[in-house]
Amino acid sequence: MIELKDLSYVRLGASNLEEAGSFATKCLGLQVGEQSGKALYLRSDDRAHTLCYFEGDPTDQTVGFEVEDESKLNAAAATLDQLGHPVHAGTPTECALRKVKAFIGFKDPTGNQIELAVRPERSGKRYFASRDAGITGFSHVGLSTTNPARDEQFWTQVCNARVSDRIGDIALMRVNAIHHTIALAPGRSPGIHHVNHQVESNDDVLRSYYHLSGQRVPIVFGPGRHPTSGARFLYFKGPDGMVFEYSVGVDEIEDEATHRPRQFGFEPSSLCMWGSRSAGVLPPNS
């Protein structure tokens, strides 16, 4: 069993690195940790970075998860290899680019680029962004799936993800107490569906709604509230069409042993209990 401890980073190719950086700092509210040549490292919490934009193909998207140590990483590599997933061991240069001690890369059954990393770097400097969006941390990702049942099986049986709730056949999965760290989203091709940051309060969600609207950032869903996790949310579109989400108040699963996933219907009200409708960003409306 591959033990994912936490989400660590996302790496996104940017067709225009300058534009991506401007969005990340002026709209999203991240802090530049470091700019080195063709890569921009962005912070959302006390880690050295949680998002890296690099000059490249926007379809080149990777999600990194933290695992405990190098022996767990080696065991994960052996498990994946045995299951027929080709594994790439990160070279020292590639590790330096990710600010981790070691990592392996592989593809999930849909073809999403996944990395497992050991010892992601933290920063002694506190996160301090130039735009106060109220961000408290990097929290979850939506991952495209071309076969929800198969991918749920991969994340829950090969890895330690547990299903918290389902909308239709779409699983919202946790790797710790937080309601979900991985949300599957039906799609025709691999890729990151959305990137979530938590914010401090409902006020932050609504403040950002007005701020981003004023900046002409396309709002694609919300403000609203998910009946599954209980989170109040706002989804909006960033560079190269990537969807970002702010949310607050996500439930924690208090009793790991007795929690049973709830089944929600595959309909808009399962995504927003206030009546907001997604502009094609989430399945029941797309």
Nearer to Fe ion, 217 or 234 (CB): 234
Q: How far is the CB of 185 from Fe ion (least distance, A)?
A: 9
Residue 198 binds Fe ion, judged by CB under 5 A: no
Nearer to Fe ion, 120 or 224 (CB): 224
Q: How far is the CB of 218 from Fe ion (least distance, A)?
A: 17
Q: How far is the CB of 28 from Fe ion (least distance, A)?
A: 15
Q: Would you report the helix, strand and coil content of the chain in percent, each value rounded to 5? A: 25, 40, 40
Give the whole-angstrom CA distance, residue 222 versus residue 88: 39
For residue 19, give the H/E element and its range: helix 17-22
Q: How far is the CB of 142 from Fe ion (least distance, A)?
A: 6
Nearer to Fe ion, 240 or 245 (CB): 245
Indicate the SS3 state at residue 45: coil
Q: How far is CA 110 from CA 128, 161, 186, 237, 269, in A?
A: 36, 16, 10, 23, 27
Nearer to Fe ion, 108 or 245 (CB): 245
- Per CB under 5 A, contacts with Fe ion among 232-271 are 245
Q: How many residues bind Fe ion (CB under 5 A)?
A: 2
Residue 145 binds Fe ion, judged by CB under 5 A: no
Of 110, 145, 196, 228, which lies in the binding site for Fe ion, with binding defined by CB under 5 A?
A: 196
Nearer to Fe ion, 110 or 278 (CB): 278
- Per CB under 5 A, contacts with Fe ion among 68-107 are none
Both tokens of residue 276?
């907001």
Q: How far is the CB of 31 from Fe ion (least distance, A)?
A: 22
Give the whole-angstrom CA distance, residue 43 versus residue 266: 35
Give the whole-angstrom CA distance, residue 18 versus residue 149: 39
Q: In what order do the strands lie in the sheet with 61-66?
A: 31-36, 39-43, 51-55, 6-14, 61-66, 113-118, 102-107, 88-89
Q: Pick the piece of the chain touching Fe ion (CB under 5 A) from 57-65, 148-156, 192-200, 210-218.
A: 192-200
What do you get for the CA distance between the two ends of the chain, in Å? 35
Contacts of 131 (CB under 8 A, 6+ apart): 25, 26, 27, 28, 29, 211
Nearer to Fe ion, 61 or 196 (CB): 196
Q: Pick the piece of the chain touching Fe ion (CB under 5 A) from 31-39, 68-76, 79-87, 189-197.
A: 189-197
CB contact at 8 A, 32 and 84: no
Q: How far is the CB of 243 from Fe ion (least distance, A)?
A: 9
Contacts of 186 (CB under 8 A, 6+ apart): 144, 145, 146, 148, 170, 283
Nearer to Fe ion, 47 or 197 (CB): 197
Q: Pick the piece of the chain touching Fe ion (CB under 5 A) from 41-49, 50-58, 59-67, 190-198.
A: 190-198
Judged by the rule CB under 5 A, the positions of this chain that interact with Fe ion are 196, 245
